[in-house]
């Protein structure tokens, strides 16, 4: 039996690892497609890009493991059935359930590893990923001033050059607009020719300008109406621009901590308890705020009413016996109180809605650490018996079936996540996708272990004929 177990494990682990790497690669390509514009043309080091891709790949592990388990189980059992190895096992007294046992042990270990990864390693990977992605997207593109175009990559300046050579040593017809004061085009420098260089430390961009004019329009203080213009001619002038914004600077990780995606189960539970406590305090404050608007009517009546309100006694007012002025005042105050209360209700309702959505996001993350891990075993219960029933190996049918089953799981999971975020469903609704797939896995497992011809068209035709015969009778 040990040799058979080794054969099954070798046949299972190979496709498992290969499919896992393929799934991570596909998800990584989706990430690159989304952020490719933020990385191209910025002169980033290969090490920085490699770190970003590595951390991004780590965040895809919880999603890639269920896919890999599903595909590998279908492919392994399908290959055994297609090559009649499964029939040979049954002839030797080894049932399908026993043949699935070595793979089930591996999947159980994989489920535990998936939870450990999601709970302990995933928060660190997300933190590193968010930091690196923020630094990459924040970095400005490498300096590239093209002829006959207005370049505004340097903060506070707009530069235009008519002509330049490849080495930037000869520039013609240069115009530099200085917007550092935020007053518009009040400071302009024009030169017939010049050169552009970068200091050795790449800290400053230096323009050496020749034969030009500087125009400065004074619009400050008393000159805001007259706007006197000063023109200065120069034979040679040097302008320096700070390029520190173009550098790649690593952010402090402290500013990224605190997000629910960067917490483990214990931290998420503590945070949700705190958020719920703060929400309950806001509810109490809202009740106090609403109740505070009602005693204002007491100012329109006598002291007896004020005493009754303070002592919480019942006091009946005969509204018809009051004077018209007193009735108008009471109506006015009541309408004002109703408007204020209505506005408070709308405001507090929105605040509580936002708070609940934020709490639900933490709940989604808490439950997802369990659901994605358990999904590995649930999808294995679907994949292994399905492969033994269809008896087709290779990449064709297993790949198609894997995509169909996982898309079904993913669609249900996505719908639940959206409903929970919109507070239409409590956070434990995250288990719906797993529980929806579990009966299918149990059904296929029972059919596979009892040699039931689930996909035999002849058996389905016989069953349909029996149903029609009963309906005719």
Q: What is the pLDDT of residues 17-28, one digit of tens each?
A: 998 999 899 888
- The pLDDT value recorded for residue 366 is 92
- The pLDDT value recorded for residue 303 is 46
Confidence of residue 330 (pLDDT cuts 50, 70, 90): confident
Helix and strand tally (H, E) in the chain? 13, 6
Asked if the structure places residue 181 within a domain, the reply is yes
Q: Is the pLDDT of residue 316 over 60?
A: no
Asked if the structure places residue 196 within a domain, the reply is yes
Asked if the structure places residue 398 within a domain, the reply is no
Q: Which of 64-68, 194-198, 290-294, 326-330 is predicted least confidently?
A: 290-294
User: What pTM did the predictor assign?
Assistant: 0.68
* C-alpha pair distances (Å), 46 with each of 40, 56, 59: 12, 15, 20
- The pLDDT value recorded for residue 113 is 92
More confident residue, 49 or 302: 49
Confidence of residue 296 (pLDDT cuts 50, 70, 90): very low
Asked if the structure places residue 292 within a domain, the reply is no
- Residues 54, 124: Cα–Cα separation, whole Å: 12
More confident residue, 310 or 34: 34
- The pLDDT value recorded for residue 313 is 47
* Average pLDDT along the chain: 80
Here the tokens at position 84 are: 């009649």
Q: What is the pLDDT of residues 222-268, one digit of tens each?
A: 666 667 778 888 999 998 888 766 665 665 556 566 678 888 899 89
Q: Which of 63-72, 248-257, 390-399 is predicted least confidently?
A: 248-257
How many structural domains does the chain have?
Answer: 1
Asked if the structure places residue 261 within a domain, the reply is no
The pLDDT of 384-398, averaged and rounded, is 79
Q: Is the pLDDT of residue 432 over 70?
A: yes
Burial 55-88 (b: 16+ CB within 10 A, else e): bbbbbbbbbbbbbbbbbbbbbbbbbbbbeebbee
- The pLDDT value recorded for residue 53 is 86
Asked if the structure places residue 191 within a domain, the reply is yes
- The pLDDT value recorded for residue 179 is 83
The pLDDT of 84-113, averaged and rounded, is 85
Here the tokens at position 442 are: 């149990």
Distance of CA 395 to the CA centre of its chain: 31
Asked if the structure places residue 239 within a domain, the reply is yes
The pLDDT of 177-198, averaged and rounded, is 85
Q: Is the pLDDT of residue 406 over 60?
A: yes
CA torsion through residues 421, 423, 428, 429, sign: negative
- The pLDDT value recorded for residue 377 is 92
Say if residues 196 and 239 touch (Cβ distance below 8 Å): no
Beta-carbon contacts of 463 under 8 Å, excluding residues fewer than 6 positions away, are none
Q: Is the pLDDT of residue 74 over 80?
A: yes
- The pLDDT value recorded for residue 396 is 77
Q: Which of 73-77, 136-140, 270-274 is predicted least confidently?
A: 136-140
Q: What is the pLDDT of residues 441-457, one digit of tens each?
A: 888 888 887 766 555 54
More confident residue, 66 or 309: 66
DSSP result, 257-316? TT-GGG--HHHHHHHHHHHHHHHHHHHHHHHHHHHTTSGGGGGGS-HHHHHHHHTT----
Here the tokens at position 320 are: 């018809």
High-pLDDT (> 90) share of the chain, % = 14
More confident residue, 465 or 382: 382
Q: List the domain range (segments joined by +) for residue 196.
A: 150-246
More confident residue, 443 or 35: 443
Confidence of residue 299 (pLDDT cuts 50, 70, 90): very low
- The pLDDT value recorded for residue 4 is 80
Asked if the structure places residue 156 within a domain, the reply is yes
Q: What is the pLDDT of residues 360-380, one digit of tens each?
A: 999 999 999 999 899 999 999
More confident residue, 450 or 29: 29
* C-alpha pair distances (Å), 248 with each of 31, 43, 45: 21, 9, 9
Say if residues 405 and 344 touch (Cβ distance below 8 Å): no
Q: Which of 232-236, 319-323, 390-394 is predicted least confidently?
A: 319-323
């Amino acid at each position: 039996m040990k040799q058979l177990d080794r054969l099954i494990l070798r046949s299972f682990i190979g496709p498992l690892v290969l499919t896992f790497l393929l799934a991570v690669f596909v998800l990584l390509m989706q990430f690159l497609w989304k952020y490719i514009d933020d990385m191209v043309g910025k002169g980033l080091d290969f090490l920085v890009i490699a770190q970003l891709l590595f951390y991004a790949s780590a965040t895809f592990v919880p999603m890639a493991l269920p896919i890999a388990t599903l595909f590998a189980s279908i492919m392994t059992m399908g290959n055994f059935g297609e090559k009649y190895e499964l029939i040979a096992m049954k002839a030797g007294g080894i049932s399908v359930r026993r043949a699935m046992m070595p793979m089930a042990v591996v999947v159980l270990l994989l489920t535990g590893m998936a939870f450990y990864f999601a709970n302990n390693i995933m928060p660190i990977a997300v933190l590193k990923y968010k930091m690196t992605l923020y630094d990459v997207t924040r970095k400005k593109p490498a300096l590239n001033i093209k002829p006959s175009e207005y370049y505004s990559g340097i903060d506070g300046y707009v530069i235009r050059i008519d002509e330049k050579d490849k080495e930037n040593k000869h520039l013609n017809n240069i115009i530099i607009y200085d917007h550092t004061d935020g007053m518009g085009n009040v400071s302009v420098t024009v030169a017939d020719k010049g050169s552009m260089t970068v200091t050795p430390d790449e800290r400053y961009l230096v323009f050496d300008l020749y034969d030009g004019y500087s125009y400065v329009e004074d619009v400050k203080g008393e000159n805001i109406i007259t706007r006197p213009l000063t023109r200065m001619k120069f034979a040679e002038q040097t302008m320096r621009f700070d390029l520190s914004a173009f550098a790649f600077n690593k952010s402090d990780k402290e500013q990224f901590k605190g997000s629910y995606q960067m917490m483990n189960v214990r931290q998420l539970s503590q945070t949700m308890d705190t958020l719920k406590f703060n929400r309950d305090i806001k509810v109490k404050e809202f009740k106090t705020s609403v109740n505070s608007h009602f005693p204002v009517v007491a100012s329109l009546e006598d002291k007896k009413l004020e005493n009754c309100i303070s002592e919480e006694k019942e006091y009946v007012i005969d509204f018809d016996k009051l004077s018209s002025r007193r009735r108008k005042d009471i109506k006015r105050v009541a309408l004002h109180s109703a408007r204020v209360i209505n506005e408070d209700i709308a405001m507090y309702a929105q605040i509580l809605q936002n708070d609940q959505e934020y709490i639900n996001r933490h709940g989604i993350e808490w439950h997802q650490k369990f659901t994605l891990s358990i999904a590995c075993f649930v999808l294995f219960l679907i994949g292994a018996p399905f492969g033994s029933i269809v008896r087709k190996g290779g990449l064709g049918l297993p790949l198609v079936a894997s995509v169909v089953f996982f898309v079904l799981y993913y669609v249900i999971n996505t719908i639940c996540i959206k409903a929970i975020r919109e507070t239409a469903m409590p956070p434990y609704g995250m288990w719906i996708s797993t529980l929806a797939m579990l009966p299918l896995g149990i059904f296929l497992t029972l059919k596979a272990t009892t040699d039931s011809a689930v996909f035999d068209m002849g058996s389905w035709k016989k069953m349909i004929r029996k149903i029609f015969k009963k309906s005719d009778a």
